[in-house]
Amino acid sequence: AENGYPVSPVLGKYWANAYRVYKEALNGPEFASWFATFAPGGRAPKIGEVWASPDHAATLRSIAETEAESFYRGELAEKIAAFSKQYGGFLAADDLAEYEPEWVEPISVSYRGYEVWEIPPNGQGLVALMALNIMNGFDVPSVPDVETHHRQIEAMKLAFADGKAYIADRRYMSCSLDELLSESFAAMRRAQIGAEALTPEPGT
């Protein structure tokens, strides 16, 4: 963030696209700092141009040096709360000050001799585990071929559809992690993968 880095071709392309969309859609004064940070000089950085963000560096340094206290109860928290209040947001200083992290047990699946671990919902790690469960039922050659790549893509699409439909705070999910990570659910989803690309819908 402090020293900057040259913008890569892929990043430069999507950054320019985002800038064009945001320039039309984000007209309020609350977005001015976004443009000052990510479109210095009134445009997105060009491919190969070095982009730096010293304010981000200062923020990260403040978080590190105060063990995150500045973010929750210090100078950064005050700035966040003031900005939110100025533009009619709902986040207040008390929300930040009262935050406490929750210790959670990770979740895992076995995939071809590896135990793969993720943070449970409401995080999105469940998507990766569901996709691996789907792929577990397929033979995968040592050198992946087109069919293998197709199946991997389709497995990810199905898992993301399920994640979008079902992942929430665990206290409010409509189904259990055991159901979503079950072999029967994976088998049902696996059976939907054929030779052609799907428009994925959530499983039941």
138: three-class secondary structure by DSSP: coil
Per residue in 19-49, pLDDT (tens digit) is 999 999 999 999 999 999 999 999 999 999 9
pLDDT of residue 143: 87
Count of beta carbons in the 10 Å neighbourhood of residue 96: 18
pLDDT of residue 144: 84
Predicted confidence band of residue 95 (pLDDT cuts 50, 70, 90)? very high
- Show me where the domains of the chain are located: 5-97, 107-190
Q: Cα angle at 191 between 185 and 193, to 5 degrees? A: 115
Given the candidates 3.40.50.970, 1.10.246.130, 3.30.460.80, 2.30.40.10, the CATH classification of the domain at 107-190 is: 1.10.246.130
What is the spatial distance between Cα 37 and Cα 54, in angstroms, rounded to a whole number?
9
For the question of whether the overall pTM of this predicted structure is more than 0.85, the answer is no
**Alpha-carbon distances, residue 56 vs 34, 62, 74, 161 (angstroms):** 12, 10, 16, 34
